[in-house]
A and B are shown apart, each in its own frame.
Chain A
């Protein structure tokens, strides 16, 4: 069974920078896993932020960026805003399945 692992929780100060990562139990994450990132706030549906490793949607704020880092997919928030406090999920594509990470609860404090 494939497992995708994220940091359970992270804390960042307003205006700071934070990087969330996404690892696969099958080995290094590459662009072939088409990493996606989503933001979810309480009581809301998920919102897509990043697709195919580093591509932003038209609605994605410029402070969000995606990359590959040390064999993992990564989401970096630069100049964090209070409204960025949320749960963040990565998604990886496998041959015949898609798998979400367990999510990272980001606290802005």
Chain B
């Protein structure tokens, strides 16, 4: 398996623009997570899904953030409109079942100017 695949790897956008980050979990994994990593706050859990259903989105910082998982092999994290303080590395992770080993993608480095 190729592991968790995220795209793009790097994104530079202007403030106010819409940004969409994509994630393909490992085949057969039923849980998917979105994290944000910054120097100041470390790794923050934004949202997680079980069987394509969002379970807890309390970590989503603002209404500008939204996440979807239309099927078991694809998820998106959207920021609209983007702001400079959204600049961070966004990670997607997946696990086979609830409370099993989690595997991370390589991340998307987002820069909002």
Say whether A and B bind each other. Answer: no
